[in-house]
Amino acid sequence: MAVSPAMLRRFDVAGPRYTSYPTADRFVEAFASEDYAQVLRQRDAGARGHALPLSLYVHVPFCASLCYFCACNKIVTRHHDRAGDYLHYLAREIELQVAQLGHGAAVSQLHLGGGTPTFLDDDGLRQLMGLLHSAFTLMPGGEYAIEVDPRTIDESRLKHLAGLGFNRLSFGVQDFDPQVQKAVHRIQPAAQVFDLVTAARRLGFASVNVDLIYGLPRQTPTSFDRTLAQICQLRPDRIALYAYAHLPERFKPQRRIHADELPDAASKIEMLSRSIAALTAAGYVYIGMDHFALPGDPLAVAKRQGRLHRNFQGYSTQPDGDLVALGVSAIGRVGATYSQNAKTLEEYCDLIDQGRLPVVRGMALSRDDVLRRTVIMALMCQGHVDFESVELAHLVNFAQYFENELAVLAPLAAQGLVTLDGRSITVTPTGWFFVRGVAMVFDRYLQVDRNRTRFSRIL
Q: Distance between CA atoms of 423 and 51, rounded to whole angstroms?
A: 31
- CATH number for the 1-22+366-459 domain, one of 1.20.120.80, 1.10.10.920, 1.25.40.420, 3.20.20.140? 1.10.10.920
* Sign of the alpha-carbon dihedral angle for 30, 32, 38, 44: positive
Write out pLDDT tens, residues 128-186: 999 999 999 999 999 999 999 999 999 999 999 999 999 999 999 999 999 999 999 99
pLDDT digits (tens, 9 = 90+) for 266-280: 898 889 889 989 999
CATH 3.80.30.20 matches 24-324: yes
Q: Structural domain boundaries of the chain?
A: 1-22+366-459, 24-324
pTM listed for this prediction: 0.91
Contacts for 104 with CB less than 8 Å, ≥ 6 apart = 135, 136, 137
> According to the model, what pLDDT value does residue 1 have?
47
Residue 228 vs residue 310, higher pLDDT: 228
82-129 confidence digits (pLDDT tens): 999 999 999 999 999 999 999 999 999 999 999 999 999 999 999 999
